[in-house]
Structure 1
Amino acid sequence: MARSGKVRTFEVWRISVFALIAVVVLAGLAALMTPPWEDAARLPKNVSNLPDRKLAGSFVHHFGGPRDEAEWYKSDFYYPNSDHPAWKADLIHFKQDRIELEVRRQRTAYKKIAGAEYQRRGFHHFGRYEVVMQAAPGSGTVSAMFTHTHQQFGDPHDEIDIEFLGKDLTRLHANYFTNGQQLGGIYIPLGFDASKEVHLYAFEWEPDEIRWYVDDRLAYTATPADMPIPQAPGRLMLHLWSGGRDQVGWHGKPTFKDGARAKYYCLSYQAAGDETRQCSDAFNFSRHDN
């Protein structure tokens, strides 16, 4: 009888273990099958406050002055299934004469990097875009000013970029996307280190041409012969980030010093046909001749 009791006890124990394993496996499968956008921890916290789609007019903004939340938006979320970091509003720092965007090794759910993104509300179209800035140092960083829209907003992926890769800050990376296709590979020699000096960078966007400028020098011109020029109005954004493993070949291994910062002093947009003021009206080019 004792032996029979031990056998029954063993059988009950074995069944319990199998049941526990089954529960764990099923839970794991359920987690894998759950779409990431149904995971509340991954959803944008303030997605309802994303910049509106209104077509915006010309402006010039010298950072360090008054901040109007009706005109500016601090990203504070992350997108599922994206190689970008988690965007953290507290990594945007307001200084007396500039803003500083910071990138850190900071885990948020499955994201290992936290970056900063600051954008002008509304959509912008053809015209001249200027930024006065100093890029962040360190391999793996990407300091940028760009126009952008994407399929996730119900629009084509059109984009025009001014970017600085921390692995080589003696070059500007110019790029553009038209309906999801990118030209890529435009590297413009600067003659200086973009993380050590403040300079003015710009692009002029027309229906059939994009021209990039470094200070007051025309640096590169793209035409439809290279690739069709983007036509969709987009959001105007500043950000500092580092991507995942798929981006390492482009922006370099993420060996940047934790807390690296990009500095932005002025941002302006002059709509096509307009003659309003812009960043270059107050920028002393003679101080930055090389």
Structure 2
Amino acid sequence: MVVLALLIAVGVAAYIWTHPTYKIVPDRGDGKSFNLSFSDGFDETDWYISDFTFRSLFYRAGWVAENVHFEPPSISLEINRKPVDHQPYSGAEVQKRGYYGFGRYEVVMQAAPGSGVVSSFFTHTDATFGDPHDEIDIEFLGNNTRQIHANVFADGKTNGSIYIDLPFDAAEGVHLYAFDWQPDSVTWFVDGVLKKVVTSAERPIPQNPGRIMMNIWTGTQDQYAWHGTPKFEDGTRATYYCVSFRALHDDTSQCSDDYIH
């Protein structure tokens, strides 16, 4: 798993560094609490839709804006076998504009099914923005959507993957996922139930505010042992209904306030 973690770090760094498009994400000073339900719309002043390809030892999909579908009450991110530039697959990615730090992050979503596909909700920053590589992940691997793949990177370092078993198939229904990021810990929740805690005594905890991102993609052959061979159906989607962030010490509304399980 340590080798895999290093591959992930290298892959992420490779695509970020080669694509200054990411630099248009505005204003480090944002960081305010928000609660955005996609039943209320999809406002591109709040979200940046990635629309470029990149060369990477990790990814085999480029980001295509037309693969982001707004269909109230949700948005969905699609992956398909339409080649884009030098990549054999077209994926999709959206980023919440601004930078966000300690607090609680929630998403109501349905994961994408199918071997070889990865769907995600995570925070991220790196050297492109004058920061170390810091990241907190919720990912779903299409070859086993009865687990969450979680991870934490701080200053480019990780102690490897965290797998959280689920009592359901994340690709067969809509559920609430969350992580609470404190200066000395990260805690993951599923449908409001605490599932995993990591502390600074166990692994480094990120300290730099990052972007909130969701994407869908598939990797190179080196990733097949992790996410499975690409056998997913063409046009597979991950669907998102609500995203919220409540900053540390705030008491604002969250996705969970309106979520009924």
Aligned positions of 1:1-290 closer than 5 A: 46=21, 49-84=24-59, 85-285=61-261
1:64–1:94 CA contact under 8 A, matched in 2? no
- Kindly indicate which of the two structures has a greater share of residues assigned to helix: 1
Q: How has the CA–CA distance of structure 1 residues 175 and 111 changed in structure 2, closer, same or farther, with 3 Å as cutoff? A: same
How big is the shift at 1:46?
5.0
Give me the CA root mean square deviation.
Answer: 1.6
Tell me: CA distance 1:113–1:154, structure 2 relative to 1, closer, same or farther (3 Å). farther
The runs of 5 or more residues in structure 1 that have no matched partner are 1-42, 286-290
Give TM-score, length-normalised by structure 2: 0.88
Counterpart residue type for residue 202 of structure 2: D
2: CA distance between counterparts of 1:51 and 1:143? Answer: 24
Letter in 2 for 1:60: N
Tell me by how many angstroms 1:180 deviates: 1.1
More strand, by proportion? 2
Structure with the greater alpha carbon radius of gyration: 1
**Matched length:** 243
Cα distance in structure 1, aligned partners of 2:140 and 2:250: 29
User: CA–CA distance in 1 between the matches of 2:21 and 2:137?
Assistant: 26
Contact 2:23 2:128 in 1 (8 A): no
Would you say the 8 A contact 1:101–1:116 is kept in 2?
A: yes
Identity of aligned residues (%): 50
Q: Cα gap change, 1:44/1:274 in structure 2, threshold over 3 Å: closer, same or farther?
A: same
CA separation of 1:51 and 1:249: change in aligned 2, threshold 3 A: farther
Asked which structure has the greater RCO (Cα within 8 Å, sep 6+), the reply is 2
State the TM-score, normalizing by the size of structure 1: 0.80
Unaligned runs of 5+ in 2: 1-17
Measured in 2, the distance between the counterparts of 1:161 and 1:106 equals 27
- Distance in 2 (CA, whole Å) between partners of 1:280 and 1:87 is 29
Alpha-carbon distance between aligned partners in 2 of 1:122 and 1:71, rounded to the nearest angstrom = 8
